[in-house]
Amino acid sequence: MSRGFLEGNLGGWPSGTPETVISLIMVFVVLGLAYTIYRLVVARIMDNIFRRFSVESSVAVFWRYVALVVIMLMATIMSISFFGELRATIYVILGIILGAIVFMLILGSKDVIMNALSGYALMLYKPFKRGEMILVDGKLGYVRDVSTIYTEIVREDGVHYIPNAELVKRSFVVKPMDSLSKMTLHFNVEVDADVELVEQIVKEAVKQCREVAPQPEPEVYLVDINGQCSKIKVVVKVVNPKKRLQAKSTLLRAIKEALMRAGIRVV
C-alpha cells in the first residue's frame, strides 16, 4: 500500500494527479496575481487618463473591460505552461472555446458593435457637439449627449435616443445656437476669494451638469466688489431652453457645493 501511495496509484488515482493539482494551484495564483495587477496598477492608470481627457463614463467602462479581458487572457496563456505534456491539447481546447465565444458575441451584438463604432466616429470627427441644435428628419432638437451607443436629442415632445448607426446614415443640419439658449447666473462669494479659482470651479461644475452645454466654455465675470462680497456673473448655454429653470437650479447647487468643498463661502 505504501509503495502504491508513493507511486501515486492508490485507489485508482493516476500517477500525475499531484502534479496536476499543483499545476491548477499555480494557474489560480497566476490569474489572481494578474487581476491584482489590473486593480492596483492598470485600472488606476486608466482612471487618471480618463479624468485628464474627460472621457465619458460609458467609454471608460468599455475600455476597462477590454483591458481586463486582455490581461486575464494573457495570464491564462502564460499559466498553461504549468501543464507540461497537456499544453498542446489545452491550447486547442482554449482556442476552440475562445473562437466560439467571440463568434457568439459578434453574432449576438452586431447592432451594439455597429452603434459603438458609429459613436466613436461621431466623437472623433465631431460633426456636432453637446448643446448644439441639429435638424434630423425635418425635426429640430438640441444635442444633450453623445454616447457610444445612442445620441440623445431633446425635442419639444421629449428626449429622443437615436442609435448612432442610424444617425450616421442620415443627413442632418447643424443649426447655430439661438439666443434663447443663453442663461445667466449671479452669485456672491466672500470678498477675499480667489476669482481665478472660482472660475475654474465653475467650469468644472458646468461639465457635470448635463442640461448645460460645455461648449462654448462658460463666461465668468467679476462684476462688482464691495466691503462684504465679490459679485460673480456666469453666462452659459443650456441644452434645452424649456428646462432653463431646472438647469439653473441644478448648476447653482453644483457650484455652491464645489465652492464649499474648496473652502470658499457663498454669501
**Chain length of the chain:** 267
Mean pLDDT across 131-158: 80
Which is more confident, 214 or 247? 247
pLDDT of residue 7: 45
Q: What is the DSSP string of the chain?
A: -HHHHHTT-GGG--TTHHHHHHHHHHHHHHHHHHHHHIIIIIHHHHHHHHHHTT--HHHHHHHHHHHHHHHHHHHHHHHGGGGGGGHHHHHHHHHHHHHHHHHHHHHHTHHHHHHHHHHHHHHHH-SS-TT-EEEETTEEEEEEEE-SSEEEEEETTEEEEEEHHHHTTS-EEEEPPPGGGEEEEEEEEETT--HHHHHHHHHHHHHH-TTEE-SSPPEEEEEEE-SSEEEEEEEEEES-GGGHHHHHHHHHHHHHHHHHHTT--B-
Short-list 23, 19, 22, CA closest to 7: 19
Angle between helices 17-37 and 57-79 (to 10 degrees): 150
Whether the predicted pLDDT of 56 surpasses 50: yes
CA distance 219 to 19: 69
Mean pLDDT over each residue of the chain, to the nearest integer: 76
Sequence-distant (≥ 6) Cβ neighbours of residue 190 within 8 angstroms: 229, 230, 264, 265, 267
Burial of 34 per CB tally in 10 Å (0-12, 13-18, 19+)? buried
Q: Answer for the pair 193, 260: CB distance below 8 angstroms, yes or no.
A: no
Mean pLDDT across 99-112: 63
| Residue 187 phi, psi (nearest 5) | -155, 160
Short-list 239, 131, 133, 259, CA closest to 193: 259
Q: If pLDDT is split at 50, 70 and 90, which confidence band does 72 have?
A: confident
pLDDT of residue 3: 47
pLDDT digits (tens, 9 = 90+) for 216-246: 778 888 888 887 888 889 888 887 777 778 8
pLDDT digits (tens, 9 = 90+) for 146-170: 877 788 888 877 788 888 888 888 8
Q: If pLDDT is split at 50, 70 and 90, which confidence band does 18 have?
A: low
Burial of 227 per CB tally in 10 Å (0-12, 13-18, 19+)? exposed
Domain 179-261 in the same topology as domain 119-175: no
Model-level pTM?
0.44
* Cα distance between the two ends of the chain: 88
Whether the predicted pLDDT of 260 surpasses 80: yes
Name the most confidently modeled range: 82-86, 112-116, 139-143: 139-143
Instruction: Fold for 119-175, please state it.
Output: SH3 type barrels. (2.30.30)
pLDDT of residue 94: 65
Q: If pLDDT is split at 50, 70 and 90, which confidence band does 41 have?
A: very high
Which sign does the torsion angle of CA 162, 166, 170, 172 carry?
positive
Per domain, the residue ranges of the chain are 2-108, 119-175, 179-261
pLDDT of residue 147: 78
Q: If pLDDT is split at 50, 70 and 90, which confidence band does 10 have?
A: very low
CA distance 70 to 36: 14
CA distance 196 to 217: 15
Candidate CATH numbers 3.30.70.100, 3.10.150.10, 3.30.9.90, 3.30.230.70; the one for domain 179-261: 3.30.70.100
